[in-house]
Structure 1
Amino acid sequence: MFTIISERDNNMNFIDKVSIKEIIKDLELEVVYMPDNKEYYVYSQDVNRPGLQYAGYFEHFAYDRIQIIGRAEYNYFSYLDAERRENVLDKLFSYEIPALIVTRGLEVNSDVIKYAKKYGRIILSTKRNTTRFINRLSNYLDDRMAPHTTLHGVLVDVYGIGVLIKGESSIGKSETALELVQRGHRLVADDAVEIRRLDESVLLGQSPELLRHFLEIRGIGIIDVRSLYGAGAVKNSKTIDLVVHLEAWNEDKYYDRLGLDKEFEEILEVSVEKLVVPVKPGRNTAMIIEVAAMNFRQKGMGYDAAQEFTKKLSQLIDTKKC
């Protein structure tokens, strides 16, 4: 089996931070001043425009965020007298801000650089429009620092529904995924599924780069699904809509036969509908997952077969009573 090793917190979710050097490279920023031999990280997804701080108000200053200077802040600060500018800059850079970014290609004055050097803070520059740059930076930080975790399982795209297949080792998850691929569906990840929460209720799953497009089939070994079945048989990422838990058939356990009992699994504080599918010789697990995906999609469109059956049964009972 593949093995993924990574640092996690007590809730088994990855702890994230983004290096300022990565931000500079990925967003193509110009370095105005950066201290040598010191690594800086960002721990907050939010950004701040320090207009109030330039006015001298530092109560509730969100100093842990990247600070953005646009034309409004720049023009206001240029009207201040030299003594007040010195006081504000000394106060501003005394806080451990991750970086200060000046937009629109505005020139960074020497007094700003002076206090950045005094406290060892980073000053960056971009020629982009302030609003557009903030949007790009926010999206970048949201993507890099979104809550995420890695789960053992297989993720497949079945009729547009992202199905996360879980279960004990050797229950047949990878074999089921392979049959689904042969039936025209797409593999997203096998064995290790990296999951990010992009919004309050949206989970995006993908494969680690090393494992992408590969499947492990016991008795055969590692196969490259894209090479064997073509680019249409794989997908790099997919939202997780449904969890299917495979387990060995237990004669003493009750399994839902109508579909009225709904179960949910919580992943990164998002509740995802869960189905428990018993596995035994003779059952076509891939076909069952296909039907589960179609049924889930149909319920999303407003038709629930289980509720419709129950409704008709109740009507029939009422008719016979009459």
Structure 2
Amino acid sequence: MPPGEIDIVLAEPRGFCAGVDRAIEIVERALQKFGRPIYVRHEIVHNTYVVNDLKAKGAIFIEELSDVPPGATLVFSAHGVSRAVQQEAQARGFSIFDATCPLVTKVHVEVAKLAKEGYEFIMIGHKGHPEVEGTMGQLDHGIHLVEDVADVARVRPAQTARLAVVTQTTLSVDDAAAITAAVRARFPQVREPKQQDICYATQNRQDAVKLLSPQVDVVIVVGSPTSSNSNRLRELAARLGAEAYMVDNADELHPEWLAGKSRVGITAGASAPEVLVRAVIDRVKALGAVSVRTLDGIRETTKFPLPKGLRIDAATGLELTERVPETGSRGAH
């Protein structure tokens, strides 16, 4: 390749996952069916472009339910909410649609089930992240948050005979494994999830970065600063020895990052739309890229059903009464 020419290598899969697709579609369908405004508690997904696009269509994003007028339509974000938020929303009489990712809901269900059996929990996750707040808020007490290996030594459960681990779905697989190993070493009887809490999409995108990073000189991750899984992709690429940067949009890409580079890898977090990836590709092309190729990777076919009340048949415009099936072999992760 002549000096100054750049080869773009795209990770596969990248960008939107089934849970994000579903959450955005819930807001869009609610707007179509009920008209603007539709209120959404917290950013529906952690991406600036997506949130601004939905705002333009009539969505209003709020943090406090007191900001929602009586009788309004309210959507819970993909990250999930605590039982207290659910109960307050119901008490205020809102028309509620839950866009919580079904894989996060699976964790909530497991927590509720094991709590009835007397279990306490160690949750691996980031303090303040809405998914963590939602999961820990499924119980009044008995969930101990650990953010790193050092935190494990500080956990003081009331008992250790019934102790279980749950995980924020968007964590780094490697980080979660190290903390889980520390929990296991301190609490040998701890119950681990029957299936890994880290979602299939997080796993797939990280596996794609593991394949991409050794083949390129620099990795650009498309994602917003608030996106946990996007941050983990950048950290993973850096850990694997690649220069790695994260951009919210193409305007944030610095030309000096590409200086002297011949291969640029591009991926995107699960909440970043492909339109942003294409804009980054165009910017790299303007800076000297001459080719674009996509690595082989897992083709995701998972599709989650929409909530009752928003399942509209595209051909007839009528409400679907039967459950929409899930597709794809990797959906139950």
Instruction: Identify which of structures 1 and 2 has the higher relative contact order when contacts are C-alpha pairs closer than 8 Å and 6+ apart.
Output: 2
Between Structure 1 and Structure 2, the one with more strand by share is 1
Q: Which has the larger radius of gyration?
A: 1
TM-score if structure 2 supplies the norm length?
0.20
TM-score if structure 1 supplies the norm length?
0.21
